[in-house]
Amino acid sequence: MINDVQDVLDEQLAGLAKAHPSLTLHQDPVYVTRADAPVAGKVALLSGGGSGHEPMHCGYIGQGMLVSGACPGEIFTSPTPDKIFECAMQIDGGEGVLLIIKNYTGDILNFETATELLHDSGVKVTTVVIDDDVAVKDSLYTAGRRGVANTVLIEKLVGAAAERGDSLDACAELGRKLNNQGHSIGIALGACTVPAAGKPSFTLADNEMEFGVGIHGEPGIDRRPFSSLDQTGR
């Protein structure tokens, strides 16, 4: 349920901040951090991406999780470099910032630009790129495999390592190791509807399911009759 497609991001972030006093919503540019950021003596984790995948990423901010901050873009749109830069500057507690990036072209470009700005500002920063989706080698939104479900696990486990006091290099190494070990494929029983479009991105019959579907409504690689969980898993 939404009021106006133009206000989706603003209203959902305002609601998130009101419901969770442990979070701070920043404006101009828009990003979300822990209310107690920066946390001195610990690596700061930052991620972000297009909205529409909630609770990813803002809902994962907290102690032992994404830890520090998140940059939401508009629906299915990458956050801009200035958001990423300002958020990183806000959460840096002196031990560096780890940027966790899903492998989508817009995310890669904008996070890389922000990384350069942070380097120029004297911030210790490094990145982990997540590309766990084995359905396709390339897609409309990526060069290479897409970053999807493994993002949640990496944010949790690397967040716990940062909370424990691991170094920036150790957190990055753990994130890359987890990425190399994680593989996923998306299966859909129906298509998503982007609010601005107002209609599903593709259609499925009641007895069909789509294999390899993307998180932005990209059609998959195969369409099969609906089957049981055990049969689908095989």
pLDDT tens, position by position, for the chain (234 residues)?
A: 778 878 888 898 899 999 999 999 999 999 999 999 999 999 999 999 888 778 778 888 988 887 688 888 877 788 999 999 999 999 999 999 999 999 988 999 999 999 999 999 999 999 999 999 988 877 666 678 888 889 999 999 999 999 999 999 999 999 999 999 999 998 988 888 877 777 887 888 889 998 888 887 777 888 999 999 898 887
- CB-neighbour burial class of residue 137 (10 A; exposed 0-12, middle 13-18, buried 19+): exposed
Which residue's structure tokens are 């029983």?
Answer: 189
Distances (CA, A) of 168 to 23, 97, 112, 155: 23, 7, 17, 14
* DSSP string of 11-22, one letter each residue: HHHHHHHHH-TT
Q: Alpha-carbon distance 1 to 183, whole Å?
A: 32
Active site residue 53: yes
Does domain 5-181 fall under CATH 3.40.1160.10? My reply is no
Backbone angles phi, psi at 103, to 5 degrees: -80, 80
- The set of long-range contacts for 12-17, using a CB threshold of 8 Å and a minimum separation of 24, is 12/51, 12/54, 13/58, 13/72, 16/58, 16/59
Active site residue 26: no
> What pLDDT sits at residue 44?
96
Q: Alpha-carbon distance 9 to 162, whole Å?
A: 29
Q: What would the pLDDT profile of 203-218 be if each residue is shown by its tens digit?
A: 888 899 988 888 877 7
- Encoding tokens for residue 37? 């950021």
> What pLDDT sits at residue 139?
66
Of residues 20, 26, 53, 183, which has the active-site annotation?
A: 53
The identity of residue 188, as a single letter, is A
Domain with CATH 3.40.50.10440 in the chain: 5-181
